[in-house]
Amino acid sequence: MSLKLILYSAITIFFNGAVLRRYLKDELLLTGPYTLLILLPTITQPICQLIFGGFCGITLFAIASYRIYQRLPQRFIDTDGKYVFISGCDSGFGFAIAKALDEKGVHVFAGCYLKGQEGEQNLVKACSDRLVTIQLDVTSEESITNAVKTVQEKLQGKDLWALVNNAGIMYLGEAEIVAMTIYKRVMAVNHYGVVLLTQAFLPLLRRSKGRIVTMSSTGSEIAFPMLSAYCASKAACKSFMDALRLEMMKWDVSVSTIHPSGYATNLIHKETWEQNITEILNAVKPGLLEEYGPNYKACYMKKASPLSLPSDLTPVVTAVDHALLAKSPLPQYIVGLSAEIHMLLAAWLPIGVSKYLVGVFLLSKSSISKVKNSSSDKPETPKRAVSAESGKLQDEEKIKEEVETPSEGNAN
């Protein structure tokens, strides 16, 4: 018996054994076509051996079998009597997740940064009386302690099923331009805030053997120019969750991370975007912008304009729903085509290759190049730029035409 045949057979046996184990644990919902799907690796094994033959075929067969295994339909737990705490529910993902869970009969504790404001008021109107809004600042230990006390009072001895870490912020700017105060603020919300909130609710979650779901980013795996503060915070958050997942195994607490592609949430709302840009530029060290060129500020303002991204948050809500309510949740959910591509680049390609592909095909070599003056006093600008996480290219020629040059007497 050849080594290749042994490997093909081992993959098939392992797949069937894993499926049988989940079926006996009543985790799978096997009806009609899905029963045939389970048999697919066994049926196609001889065909793969015949067509692909070598170790390349074995690799493809293993990947295909794993993808089928991941996508087998699961049974979901009963939502009756389930209580979930979600941070960052003023808008975006948090708002949509809270609304969707409320519609399924889940008792939702919605942490809102601005309680009494429009976001919280709209959420209350959109949901049933089961929903409870709680003022929450994830950077404040006092605020978190008060939130935990409120939850315990509302539970009245019942169990908290899950925590959803959703609150987050993002600033767009080159590493040298962004002030340390902004780096600390991003880290305080996106990483330390997650740690503080998770630690505060862990006693309740260990008791219920519940779930922890955290909104991460593809930026946790592959960094993008202009997003050094954001990517650093998300990488730290993901590492924390990876370690926590292993530590919580003995407590039967499930830990999942969500890695969405770019969506139109409040993070890139026009007003928020402009406020963040102004804050970054006002905090730049004296003389630094001049070193980057006379038209750098104008280019920056153009390139940092709000992105055109999908507004339908359903794929992300579906992933969070699965992580919270499926009988066997996944440790990681990659949501969206661009997210799949980014994570694939980070996982399978050498750093030099992935950096080249990101630099050439997804992003400009430098998101905003130093603007040099030619003999005609016209600034040189990069030809292409890309929005973080969405992977969509923007035509930089429009920026070049709109930026006023020194020869026109209006340059910065």
pTM higher than 0.85: no
Residue 180, token pair as written in the block: 């340390």
| Whole-number Å distance between alpha carbons of 271 and 317 | 25
CB neighbours of 134 closer than 8 A, spacing ≥ 6? 109, 110, 111, 112, 115, 147, 150, 151
Burial classification of residue 107, based on how many CB atoms lie within 10 Å of its CB (0-12 exposed, 13-18 middle, 19 or more buried): buried
pLDDT at 364: 46
Question: d(Cα 40, Cα 210) in Å, to the nearest integer?
Answer: 34
Give Cβ neighbours of residue 223 (< 8 Å, ≥ 6 apart): 231, 235
Catalytic residue IDs: 230
Contact (CB, 8 A) for 280 and 178: yes
pLDDT of residue 270: 65
d(C-alpha 208, C-alpha 205), whole Å: 5
Report in angstroms the alpha-carbon separations of 28 from 62, 74, 339, 403: 21, 4, 27, 58
Q: What's the confidence (pLDDT) of residue 199?
A: 97
How high is the pLDDT of residue 165?
97
Residues 6+ apart with CB under 8 A from 110: 86, 89, 94, 98, 120, 123, 131, 132, 133, 134
Please choose, from the candidates 132, 135, 72, 131, the residue with its C-alpha nearest in 3D space to the C-alpha of residue 104.
131
pLDDT averaged over 10-residue windows placed end to end, the chain, 412 residues: 75 83 74 70 73 73 78 82 95 93 95 90 94 96 96 95 95 89 95 97 97 92 85 95 97 95 69 78 82 74 63 88 92 84 72 64 47 43 41 41 39 36
* All residues at 6 or more sequence positions from 42 whose CB lies less than 8 Å from its CB, including other chains: 12, 16
DSSP H or E segment with residue 320 = helix 314-325
Give CA–CA dist 2/49, Å, rounded.
12
Tokens of 250: 């003995």
Task: Tell me how far apart the alpha carbons of residues 93 and 108 are, in angstroms, rounded to a whole number.
Answer: 14
Closest CA relative to residue 148, chosen from 205, 216, 95:
205
DSSP 103-156: HTT-EEEEEESSTTSHHHHHHHHHS-TT-EEEE--TT-HHHHHHHHHHHHHHHT
| Predicted pLDDT of residue 216 | 92
For residue 64, give both structure tokens. 């295909």
Quote the tokens at residue 63. Answer: 């990947």
Helices H, strands E: what count in the chain? Answer: 16, 9
